[in-house]
Amino acid sequence: MFTDEDWIADMWGDALEQAANETHIDFADLPESCPWPMSSVLEDGFLPE
């Protein structure tokens, strides 16, 4: 599941919508796709730089 590109893109779209609603940041100002590889995101202790 976490390596399925279609699933990742779908979840990213849902996350963008939620982030835009909660922060009132314009949807167009958020990244179109996840800027980090899923393998990194799933590592214990992952924090984006």
6-24, pLDDT tens digit by residue? 888 899 999 999 999 999 9
Whether 44 is in a domain gets the answer: no
Is residue 42 assigned to a domain? no
Q: What percent of the chain is modeled with pLDDT above 70?
A: 98
Q: Is residue 36 part of a domain?
A: no
In a domain, 37, yes or no: no
For 15, the domain range is 1-30
Phi/psi at 40 (nearest 5 deg)? Answer: -75, -45
Q: Provide the domain count of the chain.
A: 1
Helix/strand/coil (H, E, C) string of the chain?
Answer: CCCCHHHHHHHHHHHHHHHHHHHCCCHHHCCCCCCCCHHHHCCCCCCCC
Residues 36, 28: Cα–Cα separation, whole Å: 19
The answer to whether 1 and 8 are in contact (CB under 8 A) is: no
Q: Does residue 13 belong to any structural domain of this protein?
A: yes
Does pTM surpass 0.75?
Answer: no
